[in-house]
A = this chain, B = another copy of it.
């Protein structure tokens, strides 16, 4: 797998490069589009469906509104794209909405956006996977019959891939994404052509009747239209992705990013409208509960996704095309799910930098911590999939809130941004440009704000509240973490010019000795080199015989260093040493005690179980004693060489590509060096 990835990388960005040629590894637009847009584009696979599905409640008559809703969504989409082009120019650092919000509106808003995005990552996984399964299921009945199972399997696979550190490579995205775009566009084109030629293209569900449970009228009906619209707004999810990925673009970064964003917007809108049109033309019936809502359906009718039904209708006597559409749709949806796994670390590292998340998330290669993040993501996504039986429709209700919260807040932020700039800008040309941008963002704000309100009103009880609750929880957690860091920072910056700056008056070095072997000798030799004021070796007598032998050997060796024996009636190690060290140091705050602990460095985890346990425990406890320094004097056992090689075999981390990191080559170089030793 990673072999392929490497091959691809060579193909795309030339031979393995050195860290100093980082810029060479950046993404051309043709690759950036699939990598960042797969999420947004894939959402046109379920957005139209949701529109029809919601309308179906009000019966067939309501379907007439579908096109207008589609247009409304398209307009919002284009406005949002236009606004984000401003963001991309103004904030090329990849901070995205979070940065815009926090710099212009302050941390609280930034954190709100962050919480929203984190929740969205979880939902992206859940929704995309479920929809992907639904689409593949349209081609393979088995999958349709075991939706939840398949969805779970897919999440598990994605998780393990990202845990192992499979790198997003341009190709793995490019092929299915372009495959999807081309597929859908061809389908739309061919479908329209057929329609114009007057060929009757009818979906399999064309013949069914649609019960209208309750003939809605007046406000209720209007409400339904709004709800249908906010379901359709799901098409906008993932639009912001590019604004987080600017640094990965080739220069001129902002310009390229903006262009890519536009391409994406146009493509999305075209496909969306196209699909809705065909749905109308092919007379698709789509209901939330086919069994009860659709009359005339054959017994045990498995409702296919709208895309699948259209494909079926358009390519009626050419099934390969139908399968192609179903699969490519399924796959791009899974890619979309995977983007969440890669987007998370990026956002996490930015949040970590601002100390809202554990600091180490900011630096790369902390596989452990990222892994925890990935596992969280997967776990919550699985919970949702189980809870809502991998039903896209149910999950959608939670999805859109987060997206539009961040849209709205970031647009508000942009308004402020331009406002600030205009305050100092005098050059008329520049001012004009700024005014224009500001207007765009203003429109964006009103638009997204309205949608957000609509979404909240129409979906709150249907599940949006869950998403909101989650956001609040995350928000509180992150503020708590930040508060902790601040408290500590304050505690640590108390530079009252006291203790730490002045040199310790006396350094009393203690070498812990259990046996007289090479590690001990090394420790003693090293301790001497430290030229402490006092140097002594200390051993704990847990076994008289052994101790006697040790002291004898010690004498024989004729060290200049005295060996002191601490009694331990209860065969303990930690406590006697602690007590001794405390005694030695006395209460003079300016004295330090240096405890040197010879350690074996081993190659396997199970060896770790057999060695150093007492040492580790002791070290842990010693660190609690003021004025005590602990030095590990390592002795590399032969087996450790293996581990060194293992460690050198570094793997890529999730989200690398999005941050413009292509680290394989660099690591391999490093590995070579290590291996050499």
Contacts and interface: CB of A to CB of B under 8 A. Distances in A.
B507 A519 contact: no
Given A363-B572, A632-B630, A638 B491 contact: yes
Given A610-B481, A613-B366, A624-B643, A570 B530 contact: no
Interface string A617-630: 10101011010111
B19 A570 contact: yes
A488 B515 CA distance: 13
B22 A366 contact: no
Contacts of A20: 569
A19 B579 contact: no
A182 B526 CA distance: 66
Interface in A645-677: 647, 650, 661, 663, 666-667, 670, 673, 677
A508 to B, nearest CB: 11
A677 B613 CA distance: 26
A499 B517 CA distance: 12
A525 interface: yes
Contacts of A574: 365
Contact of A19 (B494, B569, B650): B569
Contacts of A531: 530-531
Give the interface size class of chain A.
35 or more
A218 interface: no
Contacts of A507: 529-530
Nearest to A644: B624
Contacts of A673: 579, 582
A360 interface: yes
Nearest to A650: B575
A664 to B, nearest CB: 11
Contacts of A358: 609-610, 613
Nearest to A609: B358
Given A360-B614, A504-B526, A647 B634 contact: no
B542 A518 contact: no
Nearest to A596: B629
Interface string A362-387: 11111011000000000000000000
A364 B571 contact: yes
Contacts of A484: 607, 610
A452 interface: no
B543 A522 contact: no
A624 B601 contact: yes
A196 interface: no
Contacts of A600: 488, 492
A501 interface: yes
A550 to B, nearest CB: 13
A494 B60 CA distance: 89
Interface string A473-517: 000000001001100110111110001111110010000000101
A73 B529 CA distance: 69
Interface string A274-301: 0000000000000000000000000000
A629 B521 CA distance: 14
A446 interface: no
A650 B576 CA distance: 13
A636 interface: yes
A353 B504 contact: no
A530 B530 contact: yes
Most-contacted residue by chain B among A499, A525, A666 (CB, 10 A): A525
B522 A503 contact: no
A436 interface: no
A325 to B, nearest CB: 40
Contacts of A613: 358-360, 366, 368-369
A529 B534 CA distance: 13
Given A601-B624, A624-B601, A666 B570 contact: yes
A66 interface: no
A673 B500 CA distance: 25
A363 B488 contact: no
Interface string A589-605: 00010100001110000
9 contacts: A19-B569, A359-B613, A363-B573, A366-B613, A485-B610, A492-B600, A499-B522, A626-B636, A628-B634
Interface of A: 19-20, 22, 349, 353, 358-360, 362-366, 368-369, 481, 484-485, 488-489, 491-495, 499-504, 507, 515, 517-519, 521-522, 525-526, 528-531, 542-543, 567, 569-575, 579, 582, 592, 594, 599-601, 607, 609-611, 613-614, 617, 619, 621, 623-624, 626, 628-638, 640, 643-644, 647, 650, 661, 663, 666-667, 670, 673, 677
